[in-house]
Amino acid sequence: MRVPRVRLPSRPTAKMSVRLRATLAATAIVAVALGGASAVLVGVLRGSLQDSAEIEATRRATVTADLLAAGVPGLPPPGSPLPGGGKSGSVTTIAPDVLVVGDPAAPKALLAVAPGDPAATWAPDGSYAVAVKQVQTTGGEVLVQARASLQPAAAALATLQAVLLPGIPALLLLVAGLTWLAVGRALAPVSAIRRELADITASDLHRRVPIPPARDEITRLAETTNQTLDRLERAVGRHRRFVADAAHELRSPLAVLRTRLEVAPRQPLTVEALTDVDRIQRLTADLLLLARLDAGAPPELEEVDLGQVAAEEAARTRPRTQVRVELRIGSGLVVRGSGEQLRRLVANLVDNAVRHAQTTVVVRLAQRDRDAVLEVADDGPGIPVEHREAVFDRFTRLDEARDRDAGGSGLGLAIARDIAAHHGGTLVVAGGPPGAGLRAVLPIG
């Protein structure tokens, strides 16, 4: 008996694959890390550069104060004319970045410098770091004020930002690309396992999924999957052997029972019993054939004239003699396979069509490319679209739509499809309703 595929409950399809989600997660983590690191770097660099400027201003003020305290010749005393003729009270320009204020009680003298005075460039605008040093000279106590420009610090920060703004997105793109490739390589064994599992059916449970060489979680997943397939193969094998043995054991007592009924006096009850025995024998033969097909044994390779087989089976007498069978068969269509099984395929299709037809069954056989196409159509009620796959399940009968089907067991179309698949072909519902059309495609040669 055929074991159907196990279908897991359907779950909502994920909008993003694992590969994409991993790439986005890694990129987001790196983006947050880079953003935080960049902010810390800019803040630390800005503070460091400002501290350096303040240290430089303090150094200049200290050096000038030391020179003034020592009375070094050449330094203009406080209150002397400013270079260029400018003068602002007791403020004297010692150097471009150093001022001396002669009135220690007026530390804000720099804020009151007249416009146009060289000291006017000292107005506080945030572009300089200023240091103040009080010193005692021979001429009295004075204040030394020195400054250091913050422009180098601003230039360094601008350069850093110019590097970070395009650099961070480029680095994120690189991280995303490398993560995409790395995750793809890591998931490649999973994709191989999935593809192999998708192709494994009850007829080829001997197949196994590939085991990747790396000894990681994916390897253990593949090994566990193969162990599960081993157990499933053994269970299905025991089930098939049971069906085959049961069907085989039934043949002998059924043959004896048939013989006894045939030699018994003809009575209505005897005739009915013979009919039932005949049906049980056909069912037993079907079960044995299904067991052989499920076993996966290759068919006997012989050249079979499919046109001759179709003509002979179509001409065979059937219970419903009022149904006309029309033949539209091309010649010279030879396929390789088991003649007995191919004859059974044609017989099952024609029997099914005759059982459900109103008046006519049409059998067509033609060549299409490198395939032989056998079509059997009837003018009966047809097969509903929603049941076009269910009719090929074993022991399935659409009684509500096929009231005339009183003798079928529900195995005919299932056997026909298995035979077609066993020969490398297909069998599908190709038309109707109204009417039913079944199409078998088999490779030629």
pLDDT given for residue 178 in this prediction: 93
Contact residues for 142 (Cβ-Cβ < 8 A; gap 6+): 68, 78, 100, 101, 102, 104, 134, 135
In a domain, 4, yes or no: no
Domain membership of residue 207 (yes or no) is: no
For residues 176 and 28, membership in a common domain is answered with yes
**pLDDT value at position 114?**
34
Burial group, residue 9, by CB count within 10 angstroms (0-12, 13-18, 19+): exposed
Tokens of 289: 């054939």
**42 close to 157: Cβ distance less than 8 angstroms:** yes
CA dihedral of 383, 389, 393, 399, whole degrees rounded to 10: -20
- 168 and 42 inside one domain: yes
Q: Are residues 273 and 404 in the same domain?
A: no
Output the pLDDT for position 4.
42
Residues 163 and 55 in one domain: yes
> Is there a domain that residue 137 lies in?
yes
Residue at 8 is within a domain: no
Number of folded domains that form the chain: 3
Give the model's confidence band at 179: pLDDT under 50 very low, under 70 low, under 90 confident, else very high: very high
Shared domain check, 258 and 186: no
Q: Same structural domain for residues 288 and 403? A: no
- 388 and 345 fall within a common domain: yes
Residue 253 has pLDDT above 70, yes or no: yes
Domain boundary among 246, 266, 294: 294
Residue predicted with more confidence, 331 or 218:
218
Torsion over CA: 175, 179, 182, 185 (sign): negative
The pLDDT mean for the chain works out to 79
Mean pLDDT lowest among 105-119, 189-203, 206-220, 294-308:
105-119
CA 258/CA 262 separation, integer angstroms: 6
Q: Is residue 228 part of a domain?
A: yes
Examine the fold and report which residue of 294, 322, 348 is the final residue of a domain before the chain moves on.
Answer: 294
Rounded Cα distance, 195 and 137, in Å: 93
List the CATH number of the domain containing 364.
3.30.565.10
Q: What is the Cα–Cα distance from 372 to 436, expressed in whole angstroms? A: 20
Residue 10 lies in a domain: no
Which of 294, 320, 354 is where one domain is finished? 294
| 80 found inside a domain | no
List the single range of 59-68, 122-131, 359-368 with lowest mean pLDDT. Answer: 122-131
Same domain, 335 and 393: yes
Mean pLDDT on 395-423: 72
In this predicted structure, the answer to whether residue 427 has a pLDDT above a threshold of 90 is yes
Query: Cα dist. 18→28, 30, 31, 179, 444 in Å?
Result: 15, 18, 20, 12, 44
| More confident of the two residues 187 and 122 | 187
Same domain membership, residue 227 and residue 283: yes
Same structural domain, 22 and 150: yes
Q: If residue 441 lies in a helix (H) or strand (E), which one and from where to where?
A: strand 436-443
User: What per-residue confidence (pLDDT) applies to 363?
Assistant: 92
Full residue range of the structural domain in which residue 20 is found: 16-75+86-113+127-199
* pLDDT > 50? residue 303: yes
Q: Is residue 240 part of a domain?
A: yes
Of the ranges 143-157, 220-234, 302-316, 411-425, which one carries the lowest mean pLDDT score? Answer: 143-157
Q: Does 342 lie in the same domain as 258?
A: no
Q: How many CB atoms lie within 10 A of CB 244?
A: 18
